[in-house]
Homo-oligomer: A and B are copies of this chain.
Amino acid sequence: MFPFEVHHNDPASHARTGKLITPHGPVRTPAFMPVGTCGSIKGVTPEQLGTTDTDIMLCNTYHLALRPTADVVAEFGGLHKFIGWKGPILTDSGGFQVFSLAQLNRIDDDGVEFKSHIDGAVLTLNPEQSIDIQNKLGADIIMAFDQCPPLPSTPEFVAEATDRTIRWARRGKDAHHSENQALFGIVQGGLDVDLRLRCLEAIVEIGFDGYALGGLSVGESFDEMSECLEGVAHKMPTDRPRYLMGVGMPRDLVSAVRSGIDMFDCVLPTRNGRNAYVFTPDGFLKMRNACHKLDESPLDEACDCYTCNNFSRGYIRHLFLAGEMLGPTLTSIHNIRFFQRLMNRIRELIPQGKIATIHDEYPVTRQSSKDE
């Protein structure tokens, strides 16, 4: 089991700082993981990622299993060698993508049958296959296969998915034998705190190296997610990392940290970056807007990223209007660095008992994406 140290607990909230030690290096928590869906952070080289102070990245099991396949990645000696990223990697279970991207043919207790979103090929995925694939991919942290219900769903459907997630977690644990890979269990239960806590209890009883909350940020409001986190996160084991999957906006990150979460992943820095959407402490910028045409200032005066050190808002706007690949690359580098600077500041403020002041330093953490 990878060592995990909690360094500081915030007396005024459930926020905490710590460090998870993986075979490919330490992960300072609270941690944000950029997403390399197909084994590449879109538009960003591993070298550029290294300049953003990113400790750990995520890759998607579903995508890599379809292409190039786990066997091919294994031939190259695993993901780290294949993609050229020397730091820690986490792979998800494939569950979320199967339920959101693929066309589902059948779901039962064994697992799921689905059609590939690439070529329509009929494939199956179950708890043992997910672990086998993730063993071959060789990430430092892997996830138990879960059923992620969309929100809103009926209470019966959410309860059924939660029970199945528990049964699948047991099978995943039994199937996992690699000592170099930590296995995290996933807690489902929709927005029902009682159901979440019952699921948490069962998942903890099985016993994992870390615990994740899945099935959030899938359509519910900020208040609904925050309320659920407030009721659940701090009841997750204190001695293991707590991971909130697929989250999120700066506001979500701060709220979840204060509820006790240690780890996050999200495509927002890169997906939004590709759409000319830039994060700054004060809010969001849309780089296609005419107001940036003659603006010689960087995206963020306080930022130390490659983009902000070398390029103006006016040039970045030009790149997007001209359809140049460099535009998405520069905004993605900046956005990832923005998220890591935010996480770093969160890690600094928690030991000082000042996490609440993050909202003053980063007013964007009060905004939703609808506040643009």
Contacts and interface: CB of A to CB of B under 8 A. Distances in A.
Give the interface size class of chain A: 35 or more
Contacts of A83: 315
Nearest to A326: B40
B329 A45 contact: yes
Contacts of A328: 325
Contact of A315 (B43, B84, B315, B319): B84
A108 interface: no
Q: Taking the full assembly, how many copies of this chain does it contain?
A: 2
A312 to B, nearest CB: 7
Contacts of A46: 310
A68 interface: yes
A222 interface: no
Nearest to A82: B315
Given A42-B326, A310-B46, A321 B68 contact: yes
Contacts of A68: 293, 314, 318, 321
Contact of A324 (B42, B293, B311, B322): B42
Contacts of A325: 40, 42-43, 325, 328-329
Contact of A314 (B72, B312, B315, B329): B72
A40 B82 CA distance: 29
Nearest to A311: B84
A294 B72 CA distance: 7
A362 B76 CA distance: 29
A306 B45 contact: yes
Given A39-B322, A72-B293, A76-B315, 13 more contacts: A38-B319, A39-B318, A40-B325, A41-B326, A42-B324, A43-B325, A63-B322, A67-B321, A68-B321, A76-B294, A76-B312, A325-B329, A329-B329
Which 8 A-B pairs have CB atoms at the shortest separation, nearest pair first? A38-B322, A40-B326, A43-B325, A40-B324, A84-B310, A68-B318, A75-B294, A84-B311
Interface of A: 38-47, 63, 67-68, 72, 75-76, 82-84, 293-294, 296, 306, 310-312, 314-315, 318-319, 321-322, 324-326, 328-330
26 contacts: A38-B319, A38-B322, A38-B324, A39-B319, A39-B322, A40-B319, A40-B326, A41-B326, A42-B324, A42-B325, A42-B326, A43-B325, A44-B326, A45-B306, A47-B306, A47-B310, A67-B318, A68-B318, A72-B314, A72-B318, A76-B312, A76-B315, A82-B314, A82-B318, A84-B311, A329-B329
